[in-house]
Amino acid sequence: MTILLEEETDVAFDFDYQTLAKDVITAACDAEKCPYEAEVNLTLVDNDSIHQINREHRQIDRPTDVLSFPMLSYETPADFSHVEDFVEDNFNPDTGELLLGDIILSVDKVKEQACSYGHSEKREFAFLILHSMLHLFGYDHETEQEREKMEARQRSILEDLGITR
């Protein structure tokens, strides 16, 4: 598995965020039974940067906590049955890894939300990466049924990692 981690802002957490990111991404791939070695891009930014990206890509003029840019389309979440139909588009030609997509995470929002939700920055960081990973696997929360399914997956994977509120 390749995790390309870019830091476009100062990152001052009191935990090993690089190892935690790897652990969460790996756990998500394992939980969703990804049958391939995978590649994920994780970029850590500040609120100003994510605000600009949110405005450009989603036409929402405010900062958000995390953005997901999936590379794959799924008929149902984590259905990998068709990814080999488009090898040139779905796999890195140099490594052969499945290109899952990009995660852009606001470090400022991790800190803000951890404080407002009353849990650790470590938990918020892990939750946001996992939430985004599930989007990269085709999960969404547009309907109540989708939201419930996605939240159940999040809880289960975080519990397996021993990360609780």
Q: What 3-state class would DSSP assign to 56?
A: helix
Tokens 């609120």, located at residue: 47
| Cα dihedral 7, 60, 68, 23 sign | positive
CB 65 within 8 A of CB 59: no
For residue 12, give every residue at least 6 positions away whose Cβ sits within 8 Å of its Cβ, in sequence order, or none. none
Amino acid at 17: Y
pLDDT per residue as tens digits for the range 45-98: 999 999 999 999 999 999 999 999 999 999 999 999 999 998 999 999 999 999
Cβ atoms within 10 A of the Cβ of 104, count? 23
Residue with tokens 């969404």: 140
**Average model confidence (pLDDT) for the chain?**
96
Decide if pLDDT at 165 tops 80. Answer: no
Q: What is the pLDDT of residue 112?
A: 97
